[in-house]
Amino acid sequence: MEVPESIPCPPRFSEHVFTRAYEVPVPWQVPWSWLMTPETFTKGQVWPFRVEFLDTPLPDGRIARGFDVGTLNAHHGPFMNFCGRITRVETGPDGGRRDLHYDYGAYALAFRLIRPTLLRVEAAPSSPTTSVVTVRIESHVRRGMHRAWTLAQRCFWPGFGLALRKACRRANQVPS
């Protein structure tokens, strides 16, 4: 028996998708390297929020760590618990893609209101010297909460874009 990756949308909830893209003037490998480093998300966190990666034993005896497929992950703090598992990491000449599927029980504000189901991060070339990093957040949202959840996403993700651009500059890839 296989367990499905996706969580069915519960009654009185509906699907919500938020996507944000950031163009950076570096090859896609530069932001991808930053995005695939766990310390990018674990160091310098604002208390009381935290991101954790749990070394996770796999059925074949290996240990999944960091952004390995199968690693358990949690983003948690007041009014949020985004717990899940890395389910996909793909890289190729056209970029990289990583999926973090959130488990049943993950929530923002309250379990009765917003239930994130997927965080997808992609880095792809837009030209030989520039790239686009795209984040996609899928959630089940209680009817009537869509606007508030969209607003929260619009407020949160610009900070990620600033950190991304700063990391690219620090890699000496972007002129100041």
Question: The domain that contains 43 carries what CATH number?
Answer: 3.30.530.20
The string of DSSP letters for 66-117 reads TTSTT-EEEEEETTEEEEEEEEEEEEETTEEEEEEEEPTT-EES-TTTEEEE
End-to-end CA distance of the chain: 54
Q: CA–CA separation, 154 vs 82, rounded Å?
A: 18
**Is the pLDDT reported for residue 71 higher than 70?**
yes
pLDDT digits (tens, 9 = 90+) for 121-169: 999 999 989 999 999 999 999 999 999 999 999 999 999 999 999 999 9
pLDDT digits (tens, 9 = 90+) for 14-47: 999 999 999 999 999 999 999 999 999 999 888 9
**Is the pLDDT reported for residue 59 higher than 60?**
yes
Task: Identify the domain containing residue 91 by its residue range.
Answer: 16-170
Q: What is the mean pLDDT of residues 68-79?
A: 96
pLDDT at 44: 84
In a domain, 21, yes or no: yes
In a domain, 137, yes or no: yes
Q: State pTM to two decimals.
A: 0.92
- By three-state DSSP, how is residue 164 classified? helix
In a domain, 3, yes or no: no
Handedness of CA 47, 48, 49, 52 (dihedral sign): positive
Q: Are strands 56-57 and 63-64 parallel, antiparallel or unpaired?
A: antiparallel
In a domain, 176, yes or no: no
In a domain, 7, yes or no: no
pLDDT at 4: 59
Q: CA–CA separation, 100 vs 121, rounded Å?
A: 9
Structural domain total, the chain: 1
In a domain, 165, yes or no: yes
In a domain, 2, yes or no: no
In a domain, 44, yes or no: yes
pLDDT at 1: 41
